[in-house]
Amino acid sequence: MKAPEQCDEGAANGTPGSRCDGNCKKKCGNGFKEDNEQCDDGKNDGSYGTCNPDCTLAGYCGDGVKNGNEQCDQGNQNQSDPYGPGKCTKTCATAPYCGDGRIQTAFGEACDGSPGCDSMCQMLIIR
């Protein structure tokens, strides 16, 4: 390899399986993550959770941006088992909360939105 070459695979340069383009530069899209690339899966079609054509990361759960079918995405604030309004799971789904219309017994809810149910999702005791 001669300066300013980044790589040199001889006659293979520029071919689909080569890590080098025709000018002896590392190429995006060859399926190998180079130093200046965030990712390179070889397809680089920009679909969810993969790589963009420029070897940057495409949208994914946990990047802090609501993409595709995600209900929410708070990046590194996504939680494993959250409960409460405005919280997000590690799978980018909205966390359960009192008032969502579903009874979450695992979080101590006895009711949710039904007659006789208070704002803490507990049954009102009428005397």
Summarize pLDDT for 52-101 with one digit per residue, the tens. Answer: 999 999 999 999 999 999 999 999 999 999 999 999 999 999 999 999 99
pLDDT over 90 percentage in the chain: 65
Is the same domain home to 1 and 38? Answer: yes
Cβ density class 49-84: b for 16+ within 10 Å, e for less: ebbbeebeebbebbbeeeeeebeebbeeebeeebee
Asked whether residue 31 falls in the same domain as residue 67, the answer is: no
53 in the same domain as 6 = yes
Question: What's the pLDDT score for residue 1?
Answer: 64
Both 89 and 103 in one domain: the answer is: no
What's the structural domain count of the chain?
A: 3
Give percent above pLDDT 70 in the chain. 97
Query: 42 with 68, same domain?
Result: no
Shared domain for 11 and 44, answered yes or no, is yes
The answer to whether residues 49 and 80 belong to one domain is no
CA gap 41, 58 in Å, rounded? 11
Shortest CA distance to 14 belongs to which of 33, 1, 3, 30?
30
pLDDT band per the 50, 70, 90 thresholds, residue 21: confident
Q: Are residues 105 and 53 in the same domain?
A: no
**C-alpha span between 10 and 27 (Å, rounded):** 15
67 and 46, same structural domain? no
pTM: 0.70
Do 52 and 27 fall within a single domain? yes
Same domain? For 51 and 66 the reply is no
Q: Are residues 5 and 40 in the same domain?
A: yes
Question: Does residue 127 register a pLDDT over 80?
Answer: no
The predicted pLDDT at position 62 comes to: 97
Task: Give the domain range for residue 27.
Answer: 1-58
